[in-house]
A = this chain, B = another copy of it.
Amino acid sequence: MARPILHNDDVRAQLLEEAAALVAARGVAAVSLRDIAAAAGTSTTAIYSLFGGKQELLTAVVDDGFVSFAASQSEAAPDGLLALGRAYRRWALEHPSLYSLMFTGSLGTYIDCPPTPEVASDAITPLLTAVSGGLAAISSTEPPSAVAGAVWGQVHGLVGLELANAPLPGGTWTQAYETALQGIVRAYFEM
């Protein structure tokens, strides 16, 4: 054989952890492969042999983000749609850089790191399920996918504006968020 393998799963896990920590701390634009490798005590070659490149490493970071987000949503699911909406915002505000990287897509970011489709859709499923269940409970005739899209867009958009520090004259985003959640209930879930 040859010299022993150092680029093993432990190094892979540590690279992932350091990459996620640096993204969370400084934003995706400010992290370099050299920084990540140095923080993990290895060289940039490890990133290429274990992930393939920066794009794939960031995709792994994003996938981990979706797993964490999905766990947060699943935990809130039993408490209903409003709880899901509040947990959605709470997770996003706790992970601003990561949320942005996860949901902004290729347009806003300087590198394209799309999530694994299945991982991403799993994270949104609780919200969509709650919407469908709520519509069924009142025998609504609205198409569930359209209402689910509207609700998702509502929470995503408010979180996005808040994270972007968009100015809301005369009010707070917390107020707007609660108003929006109540509005969703009135618009779609009362017969």
Contact A150 B146 (CB under 8 A): no
Given the contacts A105-B164, A108-B100, A167-B117, A150 and B154 also touching, CB distance less than 8 Å: yes
Taking CB atoms, residues of chain B closer than 8 Å to A121 are 167, 169
**In this complex, which of A29, A143, A149, A168 has the most chain B Cβ atoms within 10 angstroms of its Cβ?**
A149
Taking CB atoms, residues of chain B closer than 8 Å to A128 are 169
A54 to chain B, nearest CB (A): 12
- Which A residues from 7 to 39 make CB contacts under 8 A with B? 27-29
Contact A175 B146 (CB under 8 A): yes
Q: Is A83 an interface residue (CB 8 A)?
A: no
How long is the Cα–Cα vector from A156 to B107 in the complex, in angstroms?
A: 15
Of the residues B147, B158, B159, contact of A150 by C-beta under 8 Å: B158
How long is the Cα–Cα vector from A113 to B142 in the complex, in angstroms?
A: 41
How long is the Cα–Cα vector from A146 to B187 in the complex, in angstroms?
A: 16
Contact B176 A150 (CB under 8 A): yes
Q: Mark A164-183, 1 if CB is under 8 A from B, else 0.
A: 11111111010111111011
How long is the Cα–Cα vector from A101 to B183 in the complex, in angstroms?
A: 29
By beta carbon, the residue of chain B nearest A111 is B29
Copy count, this protein chain: 2
- Which A residues from 89 to 148 make CB contacts under 8 A with B? 96-97, 100-101, 103-111, 117, 120-121, 128, 142-148
Contact B163 A105 (CB under 8 A): yes
Chain A contacts to B: CB under 8 angstroms? 27-29, 96-97, 100-101, 103-111, 117, 120-121, 128, 142-150, 152-161, 163-171, 173, 175-180, 182-184, 186-188
Which 8 A-B pairs rank lowest in CB-CB distance, beginning with the nearest? Answer: A157-B157, A149-B176, A105-B164, A145-B171, A110-B110, A108-B108, A153-B158, A183-B187
